[in-house]
Amino acid sequence: MVDATAAGLRLAGTWGLDFPARPGGRSFVEMGGELLAGPPGQDGRSAPGAPPPRPLDYLVVAHEAYDATPAGLVAGYLADACPGDPRAFSLADQGIGAPFSGLRILDRIHRGGGLDDAALFVLDPAAGAVLTLGGTGDWALRTVAEERAGAAADCLPPLTGAPAPPPAPAPAPAPAPAPAPAPDRAPGPRTAYLLGEGLRDLAGALEGTGATVRHAAPGQGCAGVWRALPAALRGAAEEGAGRLVIADRDRGLGRLHLAAFVPLR
């Protein structure tokens, strides 16, 4: 069991939608409205829903591409549509790293005692996702990191070294006259990975460590891994993973972005 008091920001819920291409595209305000309609049902269509259920302290909109058909300020629109009176702002000009920066900012505010509930909206012309965050939820954010990564191989050390929950104390062994030799290193908690397009060629190396690897759909920009997050969380929970690492590499900027979540139960 992870110590929730030390775990920082927790993930209360997440859902996403694909945005099929259409003439003229969608404005960010339209995308936000579709996301607020709720998570998709079994038929893939948006199911009747509601905005985040608890009053928000903060609301962040993260995007890589720009609004093709501006129809208003999306952060202000979403702040008015969600419960509470959240401080709202947008993050851009960071490539695929914008959602990771949003997580880092919200985590620091939460750790400083200034946030109980927040929402992170991730928008791309092809897909979008929502994360509701705060002091409740079954997964806790342990770290958000950014590393220089000129080549894909540069990403392996920070990915495999993502912080893990501390192991439970082992019971005292019973006396034995001739104990078997101990292995060089005890196995760590099982890791699940969710990789974006920029890390697709690292799947084999990570699977070689015994990890489970899932991939975001191509062509969804900074929203790719976050659109795929609900299924990755379900899979990691079913597998009993000790952590879920979400990561993508911005080839143009030569940056690796990763976020590690650990289960609280």
pLDDT in tens, 65-75: 888 776 668 99
DSSP string, the chain: ---GGGS-SEEEEEEEEE----TT---HHHHHHHHHT-SB-TTSSBPS--S-SS-EEEEEEEESS--SS--S-HHHHHHHHSSEEEEEEEE-SSGGGHHHHHHHHHHHHHHTT--SEEEEEEEETTEEEEEEEES-SSEEEEEEEEEE-SSGGGGHHHHHT---PPPPPPPPPPP-SSPPPPPSS-----EEEEE-GGGGGGHHHHHTTT-EEEEPPTT-GGGHHHHSHHHHHHHHHHHT-SEEEEEEEETTTTEEEEEEEEE--
pLDDT at 153: 77
pLDDT in tens, 75-113: 999 999 999 999 999 998 889 999 999 999 999 999 999
Grade residue 123 by pLDDT with cuts at 50, 70 and 90.
very high
Question: What does the mean pLDDT of the chain come to?
Answer: 83
The pTM is what?
0.83
The closest alpha carbon to 16, from 123, 175, 93, 118, belongs to 123
Other Cβ atoms closer than 10 A to 203: 15
What is the rounded average pLDDT of the residues 115-125? 95
Interatomic CA distance for residues 208 and 215, integer angstroms: 16
37: phi then psi, degrees, rounded to nearest 5: -70, -15
pLDDT in tens, 32-72: 999 988 665 544 444 444 568 789 999 999 999 888 776 66
Percent of the chain with pLDDT over 90: 58
The yes-or-no verdict on residue 26 having pLDDT over 50 is yes
pLDDT at 40: 59
pLDDT at 91: 92
pLDDT in tens, 154-164: 888 889 874 44
pLDDT at 172: 46
211: phi then psi, degrees, rounded to nearest 5: -85, 160
Q: Are strands 212-215 and 191-195 parallel, antiparallel or unpaired?
A: parallel
The closest alpha carbon to 137, from 14, 260, 243, 6, belongs to 14
pLDDT in tens, 183-242: 333 345 689 999 999 998 899 999 988 899 999 999 999 999 999 999 999 999 999 999
